[in-house]
Structure 1
Amino acid sequence: MKMSDEELEMDLEGDLDADMDDDLDADLDDDSDSQKRGGILQSTSKRVRMIFSVMASPNRIDILRILNSKGPLTYSELKSLAGFKSKKESGKFAYHLRKLLRQSLVALNKSERRYTITNLGKLVLSLARQIEERSIIESGKMYVRTSHESIEEFNSHKIIQSLVREGSLPLELAQKITEEVENRIYKYQTTYLTGSLIREMVNSVLLEHGHEEYRNKLARLGLPVFDVQEMITNLDNVDNGAEGLLFKTGQRVFAEHLLTNILPKDVADSHLSGDLHIANPGIWSMIPDTIFVNVKELIEDGIDLGGKYLDVSRIPASKQLDEITSALSVVISLLSKEASQEIVLDGLVSLFSKHSKSLPELEQKLTAAFATASTTSKYNKSSTNVSIRLQLGSDTKIINSIINAYKNYTKLTPIPKIGLIIDNEKGKITDVSATASEIISLGGKVMFAKGQTSSHGVTNGSTKNSGPLSIMLESVSINLPRLAFESNKDETYFRARLALLMKPALSSMALRKKDISDLTRRGLNPILAKNTQYMQKSNVSLVVNLVGLKEAVFNILGFQDNKEGREILHKVIETAVDVGAKKGKELGDTVAICMTETESATRFATLDGEKYGKNSSLNSMEGDSYSEGITIDASEISDYTAKSEPISECNKLAKLLNGGLFVTLKIGKDAKPAEIKKAIEKTSELTTSFKPVQEIAICGECGFKDEPFEDKCPKCKSPYVV
């Protein structure tokens, strides 16, 4: 008759009490016999023999290992972890556990009904491990756990092969290094050999012999165990679930590769020290930052994915409304993988121009297309990944339908991934300002501009007469306060340092352009390669961002914020533009200088605060970052004219910067749509481009944002407010 787990456990406890009495009697008998045989304690050798018999079973060693790492455990927990999951194996498990209990290698806490490993059990486990390791050494064989998920016998010839193939070492030197590494392995009696451990030893020997360059080629790229554990622990910093975790890990590896093996040392050091900042270094050499593309051509011609994305449905040339909106969401999703900051989509109005008779259906299907496209992964947490560019003055009905669809999408999405860029160069902003104001109050992203501009204010003026695609590489920012700190209040020397820093940075960006073109040609970015004639027709601009210009000129170089001081500020921009133009001519590339928003401003301010002290120039900063672009307060805009100082200075900077100026229209958090509408219309009369920004409270727990709130979410009562 089979017994249940509970019955077996009760039987085990009863046996244990009886066995302990029997063992005690047997020990006493053995003691008296031993005294009769001249005092030699035979009981000790018997106990050792019994313990060795317990160690003879892999199952029992496994139970000890589990209790050592996971215990204390209940009977059922231990049984499950030890792999005895079927009812047929219950008796077998009870037999093994009884053996361990009888020899006091495992103990039972009767009040908690949990099993623990004893000190004797730990000693036995340690001994088993030592015997296993020693047997490997004595056999003369060592086994390597490779990074290819296999165990292979140690072979020193493989080290020589790696040194020659990966590090380009001369054969004689490779043999010498390998011999020293092999001696160390045997000397340390290392039993658990891994590929990474051997590589560490090789690199250590190379450094000791002064071969740092070879060591850098052979270094393993990756994360320390602690960092991996931290990433798993702090999941608040990870978007997109497991995909985001894996992506973040991969980015760290490729960023390290960029800084140690691809960039020139002076540029890498400038980034690491904080003289300049490279955004998204993990994908720097793989994909561009911003792409302007005509989506009408893509969808009407059909998309050729070739042999890539074989699990994605192929998109034929689309004509019907259903087909077009479905294709649009797929195109947005796929294009989002081929740029690190933003995709700006042109041609949406003309794409839907034949469907003006079914506007309600268009709005509904377009809302769904935006929602579907928003589910794709993101490279950059802070930027608008996709922007729909609408040129006013064309088909007003279609434009309003697209804006209404975007408004519906904004209501559904706590933090929208998609944004609007409204180009009012040929149309009236009053046609859309009411709806745009509602969108802004809902937390939507709207940019107003004249001409081709990204949502972060970088202009693309050179593309008006070019092909269907334009690309911007804009991931380098320069820390102007740092240059000012190191210029001893000498404005001429400051500008000379700026010129010196820009030249190698631009050379690196030219190399980046070449790398991206090469990888695109080889299929890494299939839509760019196959559908946009990227290699033949695209226009690529290298854009450099200036950070902290105001702090550098007014706080550190010591100029007053007056006409003379602003002239110096303008001279700095002119110097950067001139250096960019000369270097661009030398490289055969278009170079533009901009002032836009990036994560570099906070990083620069933090590094400079650590280096020069918090009271150096940081005391006059707003917040904890350097200035980027220009901020205009919406509450004051009604008092301004084109000649007002903030507006005239803003327009002067926009004219000097050939890459664009990011202008933020800061709207009070309590402002209503009607007030936002007035501020937008007035600002559009005074400046060429601007982005209205209003703080909206969003619940970080449930995503609620339907009404304004301060400390607690009205829906779920969570205090976690984004």
Structure 2
Amino acid sequence: MTMNEEELEMNMDLDSDDDDLDADLDSDIDDDSDSKRGGILQSTSKRVRMIFSVMASPNRIDILRILNSKGPLTYSELKSLAGFKSKKESGKFAYHLRKLLRQSLVALNKSERRYTITNLGKLVLSLARQIEERSIIESGKMYVRTSGESIEEFNSHKIIQSLVREGSLPLELAQKITEEVENRIYKYQTTYLTGAVIRDMVNSVLLEHGHEEYRNKLARLGMPVYDVQEMVSNLDNVDNGAEGLLFNTGQKIFAEHLLTNVLPKDVADNHLSGDIHISNPGVWSMIPDTIFVNAKELLDDGLDLGGKYLDVSRINVSKQLNEITTSLSVLISLLSKEASKEVVLDGLVAVFAKHSKSLPELEEQLTNTFATASTTSKYNKTSTNISIRLQLGSDTKIIHSIINAYKNYVAITPIPKIGLIIDNEKGKITDVSQSISEILLLGGKVMIAKGQTASSGVTNGSSKSTNSLAINLQSVSINLPRLAFESNKDETYFRARLALLMKPALASMALRKKEISDLTRRGLNPILAKNTQYMQRSSVSLVINLVGLRESIFNILGFKDNKDGRAVLHKVIETAVDVGAKKGKELGDNVTICMTETEGSSRFATLDGEKYGKNSSLNSMESDFYSQGTVINASEIDEYTPKSEIISESNKISKLLNGGLLVTLDIDKNLKVDEVKKSIEKTAELVPSFKLVRATPICGECGFKDEPFEDKCPKCKSPYVV
């Protein structure tokens, strides 16, 4: 609309049928008579009455609301949003807008030709809202503040509908419960009635009438106000700003849903009591724990994201080095969202095989790729790890370039999200031990493993080597010391209890597999769904983790740590493997048993300490967590041979377990590069797989880790050492 047209409308005569114009005109006449009385008081009174006359029109209140929510608008935009779309209504709109302008409730920015609400206009709008709410209350009617951000008149029929739809109650019972709830609402005369309050009353009545099952279906999932305030006040466990805070909150809700509505009651109770531990319950039914995937196949075919991640750039089949590294960065970023523990990327050496003539460029671009991938969503301090698996014995130059790029990445990253897995099954560890030692001293993550093993120690359980994707569901751990405590030192009864506990745990894991498969097919995990044809080409293993085996046999059941005692320990593992195989055959799933890292270890020890008291057999433990695998001290490695007790026992257990054993090589922080190198080479001769562990001090204030330090950061002098 041109300025002339706008002015024309603003000066048009109005139709006589406008309902509220007569009142306004009368008000103008009264105001003219008031002006004759004179005086400041009369002038102020006139001003107030004029403003109230403006508020008398719903159309003008609507215009104020639109400007308050939308911001500055042109005449045409405001007219359209206010609902005056026909030419017949143009005069009415101009009249209302002119009223608002005259009373300084709306202002016109002449240079931009846009209308805005003034501070006085905002005050009037707020007053109108308060009057509206108060009139609702004074009317004697009950109004509900809904979760849909609206205020609606209380309607008992909506309670009936909700009971039938959400809780599957019979109609007659729903009507009976609703009648009692309605009586309570009017009896209590709640001043601030909300959907949550009504739901609480409904659930209370259901419990009083013995309908616990219906109540569980209707329960509101969420967090107490106090817990929310605590999360906002204490941000130590939030590692990714507001996104991390929101993710932690969402996890708590889905974890509650899992334990109250998804898992069988006995399995949920086993977790809550400490018989078993479920890791990452917030994403239990959504994403797998560990995935083994061939990066070359995904990059060669080009990432197919379908209609998901529409804000992510689409990259076709990559051929040039910069295209490959960009695609790899995107792949790492997106895959890290589709596993809760770890993503093991294989085939990277083959990806860069054609670029061996430009190694310096490869190192530089790969360093940037790793750095970029590490900036993507990291919801908390235990977020998904990415492991690059390198098979020694293939293209040596490419392997060294990847390792050098990783070293550069580690040097600039305080806590790396990405790690290395060195497969020395067909190559010599001495070819890379020097570089690995340097990486470790910088705080890098390195695992030495023969075959497909994750950095957690879990192996690829796939029986089909041709599969491009292998998935492990491994988030259930069994508290063996708890079983031992309750077995009256009867080893046979102990193993029987283990077998009984494994069956419902594996049944729930099979349920989890079905849930994840269904959600993946429906697009929750786009990479798994689109690029790997999840159900057709993947192999899924259900993995049970045994925690505290040594404490159970030697501390609680009372066996000595000798040949006979270790034979009992082996028998327990064999029982778990046999039961897993039989139950797996029954379920039609591949089941394996492992002994790896889990946060459930310390939880088990804490719960058992509280349950059995400080005078229990736990006193013989030196730490506040249960054993999870085998620990080898690097300072003692020179004394070991293949026949040494700790080495031979570790290798025996590793063979018995079909899901993997975590062996850690604990390296003292004072060891130099050459000493670390020697320890790595010697350990590789003794055990098939092991993880390098070394405490690297990092400043929690500035991230400094360039040199060893003790109490204070040498750069910023902060005492906050991670």
| TM norm structure 1 | 0.82
- Aligned partners of 2:380, 2:463: CA distance in 1, in Å? 25
2:111 corresponding residue in structure 1: none
- Aligned partners of 1:416, 1:621: CA distance in 2, in Å? 32
Letter in 1 for 2:341: Q
Q: Note if contact 1:699-1:713 (Cα within 8 Å) is conserved in structure 2.
A: yes
Deviation string 1:76-106 (CA, Å, 9 cap, x unpaired) is: xxxxxxxx9x9x999989x99xxxxxxxxxx
1:594 corresponding residue in structure 2: 594
Q: Quote how far apart the aligned CAs of 1:143 are.
A: 1.2
1:470 corresponding residue in structure 2: 470
Residue 89 to residue 305, structure 1, CA distance change in 2 (3 Å):
closer
2:507 corresponding residue in structure 1: 507
- Aligned partners of 2:473, 2:331: CA distance in 1, in Å? 21
1:122 corresponding residue in structure 2: none
Structure 1 runs not aligned, ≥5 long: 1-52, 58-83, 97-128
Letter in 1 for 2:685: E
Letter in 2 for 1:238: V
Q: Quote how far apart the aligned CAs of 1:379 are.
A: 5.5
Residue 185 to residue 196, structure 1, CA distance change in 2 (3 Å):
same
- Aligned partners of 2:340, 2:203: CA distance in 1, in Å? 34
- Aligned partners of 1:224, 1:384: CA distance in 2, in Å? 28
2:332 corresponding residue in structure 1: 332
Q: Quote how far apart the aligned CAs of 1:324 are.
A: 0.3
Q: Quote how far apart the aligned CAs of 1:463 are.
A: 4.5
1:253 corresponding residue in structure 2: 253
Q: Quote how far apart the aligned CAs of 1:396 are.
A: 0.2
2:20 corresponding residue in structure 1: none
Q: Note if contact 2:237-2:380 (Cα within 8 Å) is conserved in structure 1.
A: no
Q: Note if contact 1:340-1:380 (Cα within 8 Å) is conserved in structure 2.
A: no
Deviation string 1:116-173 (CA, Å, 9 cap, x unpaired) is: xxxxxxxxxxxxx9x9999655523111111111111111111000000000001111
Number of equivalent positions: 610
- Aligned partners of 2:183, 2:133: CA distance in 1, in Å? 18
Structure 2 runs not aligned, ≥5 long: 1-47, 53-104, 108-115, 125-129
Residue 464 to residue 359, structure 1, CA distance change in 2 (3 Å):
farther
SS state at 2:448 partner: strand
- Aligned partners of 2:311, 2:622: CA distance in 1, in Å? 49
Higher alpha-carbon deviation: 455-464 or 529-538? 455-464
Letter in 2 for 1:278: I
Alignment map for 1:467-546 (pairs within 5 Å): 467-546=467-546
Letter in 2 for 1:199: R
- Aligned partners of 1:239, 1:183: CA distance in 2, in Å? 48
- Aligned partners of 2:209, 2:134: CA distance in 1, in Å? 32
- Aligned partners of 1:301, 1:534: CA distance in 2, in Å? 16
Residue 174 to residue 384, structure 1, CA distance change in 2 (3 Å):
closer
1:196 corresponding residue in structure 2: 196
Deviation string 1:387-406 (CA, Å, 9 cap, x unpaired) is: 00000000000000000000
Question: Does 2:562 align with 1:562?
Answer: yes
1:657 corresponding residue in structure 2: 657
- Aligned partners of 2:562, 2:132: CA distance in 1, in Å? 79
1:308 corresponding residue in structure 2: 308
2:418 corresponding residue in structure 1: 418
Residue 491 to residue 170, structure 1, CA distance change in 2 (3 Å):
same
Q: Note if contact 1:481-1:548 (Cα within 8 Å) is conserved in structure 2.
A: yes
Q: Quote how far apart the aligned CAs of 1:618 are.
A: 2.6
Q: Note if contact 1:592-1:659 (Cα within 8 Å) is conserved in structure 2.
A: yes
Q: Note if contact 2:474-2:544 (Cα within 8 Å) is conserved in structure 1.
A: yes
Alignment map for 1:691-710 (pairs within 5 Å): 691-710=691-710
2:277 corresponding residue in structure 1: 277
1:6 corresponding residue in structure 2: none
Letter in 2 for 1:650: S
SS state at 1:344 partner: strand
Deviation string 1:424-472 (CA, Å, 9 cap, x unpaired) is: 0000000000000000111100000000000011111534523100000
1:366 corresponding residue in structure 2: 366
Deviation string 1:41-61 (CA, Å, 9 cap, x unpaired) is: xxxxxxxxxxxx9xx99xxxx
Q: Note if contact 2:461-2:592 (Cα within 8 Å) is conserved in structure 1.
A: no
Residue 448 to residue 383, structure 1, CA distance change in 2 (3 Å):
farther
SS state at 1:173 partner: helix
2:151 corresponding residue in structure 1: 151
1:575 corresponding residue in structure 2: 575
Alignment map for 1:306-455 (pairs within 5 Å): 306-378=306-378, 381-382=381-382, 385-455=385-455
Q: Note if contact 2:481-2:551 (Cα within 8 Å) is conserved in structure 1.
A: yes
Alignment map for 1:607-622 (pairs within 5 Å): 607-622=607-622
Deviation string 1:236-292 (CA, Å, 9 cap, x unpaired) is: 111111000000000000000000000000000000000000000000000000000
- Aligned partners of 2:599, 2:510: CA distance in 1, in Å? 22
Residue 666 to residue 615, structure 1, CA distance change in 2 (3 Å):
farther
SS state at 1:236 partner: coil
- Aligned partners of 2:290, 2:405: CA distance in 1, in Å? 24
Q: Note if contact 1:430-1:681 (Cα within 8 Å) is conserved in structure 2.
A: yes
SS state at 2:530 partner: helix
Letter in 1 for 2:544: V
Q: Note if contact 1:555-1:617 (Cα within 8 Å) is conserved in structure 2.
A: yes
SS state at 2:692 partner: strand
Letter in 1 for 2:354: K
Residue 383 to residue 143, structure 1, CA distance change in 2 (3 Å):
closer
- Aligned partners of 1:433, 1:461: CA distance in 2, in Å? 28
SS state at 1:592 partner: strand
Residue 638 to residue 384, structure 1, CA distance change in 2 (3 Å):
farther
SS state at 1:307 partner: coil
1:221 corresponding residue in structure 2: 221
- Aligned partners of 2:421, 2:133: CA distance in 1, in Å? 67
Letter in 2 for 1:539: S
- Aligned partners of 1:91, 1:426: CA distance in 2, in Å? 76
Q: Quote how far apart the aligned CAs of 1:622 are.
A: 3.2
- Aligned partners of 1:513, 1:598: CA distance in 2, in Å? 20
Residue 313 to residue 214, structure 1, CA distance change in 2 (3 Å):
same
Residue 174 to residue 364, structure 1, CA distance change in 2 (3 Å):
same
Q: Note if contact 2:468-2:538 (Cα within 8 Å) is conserved in structure 1.
A: yes
Q: Quote how far apart the aligned CAs of 1:613 are.
A: 1.1
SS state at 2:501 partner: helix
Q: Note if contact 2:461-2:470 (Cα within 8 Å) is conserved in structure 1.
A: no
Q: Note if contact 2:238-2:381 (Cα within 8 Å) is conserved in structure 1.
A: no
Residue 154 to residue 683, structure 1, CA distance change in 2 (3 Å):
same
Q: Quote how far apart the aligned CAs of 1:533 are.
A: 1.7
- Aligned partners of 2:188, 2:380: CA distance in 1, in Å? 46
Residue 384 to residue 158, structure 1, CA distance change in 2 (3 Å):
closer
Residue 415 to residue 463, structure 1, CA distance change in 2 (3 Å):
farther
Q: Quote how far apart the aligned CAs of 1:673 are.
A: 1.1
Q: Note if contact 1:259-1:268 (Cα within 8 Å) is conserved in structure 2.
A: yes
SS state at 1:235 partner: coil
Deviation string 1:313-341 (CA, Å, 9 cap, x unpaired) is: 01110000000001100000000010000
Q: Note if contact 2:238-2:380 (Cα within 8 Å) is conserved in structure 1.
A: no
- Aligned partners of 1:383, 1:632: CA distance in 2, in Å? 26
Letter in 2 for 1:145: R
SS state at 1:478 partner: strand
Letter in 2 for 1:336: S
1:711 corresponding residue in structure 2: 711
- Aligned partners of 1:338, 1:253: CA distance in 2, in Å? 19
RMSD, matched Cα: 2.4
Letter in 1 for 2:298: L
Deviation string 1:465-512 (CA, Å, 9 cap, x unpaired) is: 231000000000000000001111111111000000000000000000
2:235 corresponding residue in structure 1: 235
Residue 242 to residue 161, structure 1, CA distance change in 2 (3 Å):
same
